[in-house]
Structure 1
């Protein structure tokens, strides 16, 4: 079974000429680009995990240090706001 190659054509602005020239020196340009992008994706995943952990720690500390948050008197509107904040942070990172 022949697998169709995925193709992409890119162009470089003049300000990126050094990058373009560096890329031309690579024996396998597509592999080179893929490896760099894969590292960036992995880095972003690690960063997202770290941010999630920090937010979790922050949220745990906030709950422990704020007696009002420990009570069950949190209104539905306040809880929805907290969920919206969490969703916004997840979207940003």
Structure 2
């Protein structure tokens, strides 16, 4: 009996299950999408969620005319302001922020 290699390899397989990070046809997996989203800053995540609510992708925004892009950017700003105001209005809600001075 001989061991051909020792140590970690680039791809692990157990019972025919591969641990690769992309599907066999080259499309991103759910894990890839999750890791990509989690690597974003909080501001980028907020923007992505607002764009999703509006039904627009970042690529679509980039392809818009200057007028349309300004309209969508203004809409995003308004939605962020509304979200901040809603969060401030929830002072009585418990579990959101710890008051360390109390």
TM-score range, shorter chain: 0.3 to 0.5
Q: TM-score normalized by structure 1?
A: 0.34
Larger relative CO (CA 8 A, sep 6+): 1 or 2? 1
Q: TM-score normalized by structure 2?
A: 0.31
